[in-house]
Amino acid sequence: MVMPEVSLTSAEVKLVSWLKKPGDAVKRGEPLVEVETDKATVEVESYVDGFLRVTNFPDGATVPLDAVIAILTTTPDEQIEDLPVHPADADAPAATVPALKQLRPPVGVSKGRIDITPVARKLAEDNHIDLASLQGSGPEGRITRADVEAALEARGIAPASGQLAGIAAVPAPGISSMRNAIAQRTALSKATIPHYYVSIDIDMQAVLRQLSQMKDTVAAPRIDPPTLTDVIIWACGRILPDYPLLHGTWSDGGPRVLPEISIGMVVGLDDGLIVPVIHEVDRLSLSAVAATTRTLKKKAKQGGLSNRELTGGRFTVSNLGMFGVSSFIAVINPPESAILALGATIKRAVVGDNDQVIVRPVMTATLSVDHRMIDGIVAAGFLKALKEILEASSSLSRDL
């Protein structure tokens, strides 16, 4: 059994503890081992029924993604053949390949896309290797870490081991693994994504009025009404289908649109921040969005988010308005193409339709965008649509 791709942002994970011991029977879908990624602690399930015979890594070990972590057999006394710990790096005998294929999770191959493991992709990108120039030696021609390292060796380049130049591979003393991951991801984002920023002021009077009415009509007193962040996430879910590049990614030298409208929500923790994901937001009502965000925030504070709840985001919303911040610009969360930063709703003097000065609650929203794939007119169109839906007098009540 190989370590599955539980992290899209790190080439390795920490093995916290084995939940089964050698000799135990294991059912498909049963938790086998607990691992710590750069985002959370998650359980890795077995993909087959069988018996756990050998564990290749002890508790506390650092394990590369795609490494063989255990050997499972169909019977408790089946003879075990020697298997490499790192199948992508070793020249395993041909006889061992079928066994590895049976234990490895299915690999999806998209037509026209380069088939490459996440570890190999990150190593290639960090060393500026053109993916199209690589020859894959893995199953069905898949490019592995060994293929990238061979290409680097042929050019006389020392591999960067998945790290940005100048960033230590081992966290400095006193720095948490989460802070180290944040440092690497933000540095990677600013180094590889050409950011630009577009802002708009939104009159929040209609939203605040509707939220106040909801508080008075909530059926169950223990159910909290939606927050401003919930409203923004819900509104983005309605708008993003019309702006596909804003929920896409830059991959293999060009833009790629990702169909699912799933939005990440930045949640602050004592030792950093985390971005749980609300999946298929465009299919959720406002009340469903609010219920989902409440659950995710609670699990984030308790450290109980699942791998699905931490992956698959296509767009991110970050709100610092509750701290009185009038506006700010956020760093795009790779591999996404945009992030929306929300400031505080502040009473401001504005000029009304009849040229009279009036006081309105105004929020500044700033969109950070990847200029490789999104032009200013697209970003401006998105913000204009966001402003229109939030300033509509009854937009929220129609979709509870």
**Residues labelled as active-site residues:** 371, 375
Contact of 267 with 333, CB cutoff 8 Å: no
Q: b/e string for 132-155 if b means 16 or more Cβ within 10 A?
A: eebebebeeebbbbbbbbebbeee
Contact of 316 with 265, CB cutoff 8 Å: yes
What are 143's two structure tokens? 């490019």
Q: How far is CA 22 from the centre of its chain?
A: 33
Contact of 266 with 275, CB cutoff 8 Å: yes
Contact of 62 with 98, CB cutoff 8 Å: no
Partner residues linked to 339 by β-bridges: 316, 368
Residue found under tokens 């066994």: 99
What are 271's two structure tokens? 């030792």
Contact of 81 with 102, CB cutoff 8 Å: no
Q: How far is CA 288 from CA 133, 225, 297, 306, 340, in A?
A: 46, 11, 14, 19, 21
Q: What is the full DSSP assignment across 265-289?
A: E-EEETTEEE--EETTGGGS-HHHH
